[in-house]
Amino acid sequence: MNFKIAVLPGDGIGPEVMAEGTQVLSQVARLYGFSVELEQGIVGGASIDAHGKPLIDPVLSLAKHSDAVLLGAMGGPKWDGLDYSIRPERALLALRQELGLFANLRPVKLFSALASASTLKREVVEGTDLLVVRELTGGIYFGQPKGITKLADGTERGVNTEVYTTPEIERIAHVAFRAAQKRRKKVTSVDKANVLEVTELWRKVVSRIHKNEGYAGIELEHILVDNCAMQLIRNPRQFDVLVTTNMFGDILTDEASVLAGSMGMLPSASLGEAGMGSSDVRRIGLYEPIHGSAPDIAGKGVANPIGTILSAALMLRYSLRLEEAAVCIEKAVDETITNGARTADLGGKLSTRQMTDEIIKYL
């Protein structure tokens, strides 16, 4: 088996942690008898510096013609003054749209050995194991009209539009319910239906899918986003699968990162129809840690590589369909953490490379 992987390191600490993630991936490939062809491209700020825009056509073509994409964080203060249309983050939005990646899966699982690294008490976070299913290609980040206009009196007006259609809600609901079937069989749908009509529709459609599409064995509850934000801190163990809109998912998963001890621990998978589990569709997906580019520590060799390494494990699971290899990485990370290895964000002293070397020992 040979797989072509597009490797897009991004900015800041992106290239550093990507080098470690691909090293682990190559090692696992040797252990399990498959090969990976890694082809690099530049995106985000690095692409702006080189080409004047965050995503150029050849890199988009590389992504489209690969089995999967490994992506690093993008952006940084250097590019903050640019127009929104050409900022580094636009590359990520374009990749999601062009690849048809509508479902973002963000697992938040606390390794028991890291309970003391969380800002919350051990008795609150111990046993946390949840999955956030975030809709990716609709909502306020893409809705029209949008923009800033100057009014007749000289003031300005900024507009973004939250829009969802029935099919967009239906397909993300199916992803959430199918994920719950393989977990603890509970879905929590997060909305703001008491105020926003668009999420009133969200709640109605999710309820209909649950009732009419064969998910009777799954428990469904609805929760308002402000209450959900509180409950994630108060009692995160109550959640199994959360499904929500693009913006709510963006915010809640950053909040949930403190449950795992560090944002540097968390991977994500962005999927299209491959997320439905069908064998007759393209497997392409985009895999990235949820942390930012952290320009303040870039080049110092202290970044936590685990988010990227676990993103590679998700790639093996969802795009390459190599479950045993994915579990191998996840178990190696667990054993490494259990045996005391820590980077600075977890209160330790290991460098990025040293942490990776420790993980490789347990593969």
The residues annotated with a catalytic role in the active site are 141, 192, 226, 250, 254
Q: How many CB atoms lie within 10 A of CB 217?
A: 9
- Decide: 45 and 262 in contact? Cβ < 8 Å: no
List all residues 6 or more positions away from 184 whose beta carbon is below 8 Å from its beta carbon: 240
- Decide: 101 and 281 in contact? Cβ < 8 Å: no
CA 333 – CA 112 distance, rounded (Å) = 12
CA 115 – CA 239 distance, rounded (Å) = 18
69's tokens:
């994409």
The total number of residues written for the chain in this structure = 363
Cα 8 vs. chain centroid, distance in angstroms? Answer: 15
Instruction: Give the DSSP letter string of 21-47.
Output: HHHHHHHHHHHHT-EEEEEE---THHH
CA 255 – CA 131 distance, rounded (Å) = 13
The secondary element (H helix, E strand) that includes residue 174 is helix 166-181
Q: Is 162 helix (H, G, I), strand (E, B) or coil?
A: coil
Best CA proximity match to 210, nearest among 241, 252, 256: 241
